Structure 1
């Protein structure tokens, strides 16, 4: 009876182990709920949820006897589907907020902005994001060479396919919102930012002559922003529950044995992530935030990014953290975080393309000299524009970089690395979000220092 389509296809409950681990997940949710009722801090609940998810995933793998291909086991596929419903559903709720949150916050900050800060904000944001990505790429290149990535690498049965790459001009033009409704539906956040910037700028321009006419729209923006922030906070409270299912599902779906074939690459990537996190903490320290305070305050978006593998899905949490934990100006937080989820991503567009390209070069005995490294660095910096912050788009980033280096024919050799992409993507995405947080802090503090200098100059002049 349990083998009928009703149980196997519709309910996905054809095995007692599936039911058992679903009930266990519900029981673990009760643990988080008890901690919440006891007023345990949100950060502690997040860390607890992460550890529980890790242990749960390993237990499921143990019951399945650590299969080499978890996807071949029916009850694991069923369990993964249910866990994905919980974790993926939470990410969907966060993504639901992204477009209205960015649309309203960008309009709001521009219409309330004074002086020429908008130009400074845009220039510094892009410069900081691309600069940090270049540093990440340098670290990736150095570690790739140091670890001799690619030497002795098994390239048998790799069937990866290269993604189509486009020119820089086409990439930038693709970000322009020819249809704002389509841009919103497709999650083109840069396009939404551009449209919102035009709306906000127009409000500022019209505010003197047509203040009474546009006042209803201004009030609507302010009211809508308050409402969307309230909705955001309601959904964020569910995050400790979601990370259990997200992390457990990642381990369940990919298994532990699959890590062995590309263990060297994974170790190298996570080492690069750690080094880059030190760079981020150093920049934060220069701006008056200690490393301990940085990790403590940034823990919530970093944990969510690690478990969800979505920079864009983490965006509402990132903005909330920047404003409430790092005292970043509301407008700066929204603007930098929005652009940071689509360009200049340290992990997906910096470290990862650098490591994979160096690995391909060593697999194919391509000389790695100064000119090769410089060309790679330039291509990575340019191609880091417009990489959407969603799971899987790092593959597009390496496609663009490899094509730019004239190595597109070697892309199938990366099959083993792409096979464990979810494991790699966890660290990459966490670094993306950390880079965005660091960029926002740096830009915010820089603008505040400039404002203080201007005020000081005005006082002297008076």
Structure 2
């Protein structure tokens, strides 16, 4: 009876709570067992291998579905180009902010961790021009088999555009990829159920080998991500609203309160979509046609907060393992995170899987995921809020450019306060 009750309680816990418990137990067990905790490492290795299994098919199918979901009408094509350009541009800025903050905070410096499989890191960084040339795969099948993420992203984007241009003849293939994408989302959900056990095994090994001092730098990681998120919204987004849109940043920030709060608590851009659409129409004055197209698109491809988090965490892991990154590695991290944001699935654990994609692209050890996974929920709250704030900002700017922003509604609070005064 007791076992049944325990199983019921465990089954009722949210995934992030299970991961936190797994991390805490791993630290305790590792601290007690010391170096002998390495016997538990295969549990974590199993989880890491399962994540590796997901990366290529998940990114490939999600990207194609993301591109083909855009309808090819004149207006929607124009609006889509504006929105995508803004989404991808702000994502590149977000990850750059993350990289800068990670270089300022240096959260992983001094940990002196070692890689169990030296073959996964230490590859020579190619020249910048060569990196750009290598983005186009000579053989797409070979790129898929080798797991060359940048080449896979470029090929998937091209194939998605081609299928869209094919019209009705491309519909059967699009439906196949939509089905495959749904299957990959479900498989991701199943693999993430292993996360608490995988994190337990890896954290026990890490704590046993390096001691509990490994946890202290995580405070710096959290601080860097949260500071980056605040800067991105208050400085960059507000600046674009003022400079590009010629609108009041204060009004924009006030309209964000409800959607940002929902995003912070639910950690789901898609789940926050009803609140975001309501706020964009009723508080910001964006037309129904613009908000109904740009916001769902943003919930799919705008991952500024996730990109910022990936920048901080990638450098944290590089610093922790004593791996020096070249300039070309930074460029690859920015390109990979920006382009892969289109294919980020709206399912639990997707941010962690996308981080594994970035790590594998630049040859950083995936073992570092275990350290970050324990605080992923705390980071997820901040990055989801930023994603939603970015969706709203782009919707306002696109609405203004299309003359579909009712500025009397946008400025209603300011106007009413002047009347009161």
Q: TM class, shorter-chain normalised?
A: 0.5 to 0.7
Q: How does 1:10-29 map to 2 (within 5 A)?
A: none
2-structure distance, mates of 1:308, 1:165: 33
Residue ranges of structure 1 left out of the alignment (5+ in a row): 19-56, 58-66, 73-105, 159-163, 189-256, 451-462
Residue pair 1:309, 1:390 contacting (<8 A) in 2 also: no
Partner of 1:122: 80
Partner of 2:378: 423
- Relative to 1, partners in 2 of residues 1:283 and 1:390: Cα closer, same or farther, differing over 3 Å? farther
2-structure distance, mates of 1:447, 1:339: 17
Q: How does 1:269-308 map to 2 (within 5 A)?
A: 269-278=225-234, 279-286=236-243, 287-308=245-266
Task: Give the 3-state SS of the residue equivalent to 1:448 in structure 2.
Answer: coil
1-structure distance, mates of 2:362, 2:177: 34
Partner of 2:219: 263
Kindly indicate whether residue 302 of structure 2 is the aligned counterpart of residue 344 of structure 1: yes
**Superposed CA offset, 1:393-444 (max 9, x none):** 111221222222233xx11023111111111110011111111111111111
Partner of 2:399: 444
TM-score by length of 1: 0.53
Residue ranges of structure 2 left out of the alignment (5+ in a row): 18-22, 29-68, 117-146, 164-173, 186-212, 406-421
- Relative to 1, partners in 2 of residues 1:336 and 1:379: Cα closer, same or farther, differing over 3 Å? same
Displacement of 1:387:
0.8
Displacement of 1:157:
12
Partner of 2:324: 367
Kindly indicate whether residue 327 of structure 2 is the aligned counterpart of residue 400 of structure 1: no
Residue pair 2:95, 2:334 contacting (<8 A) in 1 also: yes
Displacement of 1:180:
8.9
1-structure distance, mates of 2:214, 2:183: 33
The aligned length equals: 287
Residue pair 1:165, 1:400 contacting (<8 A) in 2 also: no
Task: Give the 3-state SS of the residue equivalent to 2:107 in structure 1.
Answer: coil
- Relative to 1, partners in 2 of residues 1:413 and 1:8: Cα closer, same or farther, differing over 3 Å? closer
1:136 maps to which of 81, 94, 100:
94
Partner of 1:199: none
Task: Give the 3-state SS of the residue equivalent to 2:80 in structure 1.
Answer: helix
Kindly indicate whether residue 156 of structure 2 is the aligned counterpart of residue 168 of structure 1: no
| Root-mean-square deviation (Å) | 4.1
Kindly indicate whether residue 417 of structure 2 is the aligned counterpart of residue 432 of structure 1: no
- Relative to 1, partners in 2 of residues 1:171 and 1:359: Cα closer, same or farther, differing over 3 Å? farther
Residue pair 2:287, 2:404 contacting (<8 A) in 1 also: no
- Relative to 1, partners in 2 of residues 1:181 and 1:401: Cα closer, same or farther, differing over 3 Å? closer
Displacement of 1:170:
6.1
Displacement of 1:187:
11
- Relative to 1, partners in 2 of residues 1:309 and 1:124: Cα closer, same or farther, differing over 3 Å? same
Displacement of 1:117:
2.2
- Relative to 1, partners in 2 of residues 1:263 and 1:339: Cα closer, same or farther, differing over 3 Å? same
1-structure distance, mates of 2:274, 2:285: 16
2-structure distance, mates of 1:185, 1:396: 16
2-structure distance, mates of 1:147, 1:182: 43
**Superposed CA offset, 1:43-82 (max 9, x none):** xxxxxxxxxxxxxx9xxxxxxxxx955999xxxxxxxxxx
1-structure distance, mates of 2:266, 2:115: 29
Residue pair 2:241, 2:248 contacting (<8 A) in 1 also: yes
2-structure distance, mates of 1:353, 1:8: 35
- Relative to 1, partners in 2 of residues 1:384 and 1:394: Cα closer, same or farther, differing over 3 Å? same
Displacement of 1:136:
0.2
- Relative to 1, partners in 2 of residues 1:187 and 1:415: Cα closer, same or farther, differing over 3 Å? closer
Displacement of 1:380:
2.1
Bigger relative contact order, structure 1 or 2 (CA pairs below 8 A, ≥6 apart) = 2
Displacement of 1:285:
2.7
- Relative to 1, partners in 2 of residues 1:332 and 1:394: Cα closer, same or farther, differing over 3 Å? same
TM-score by length of 2: 0.58
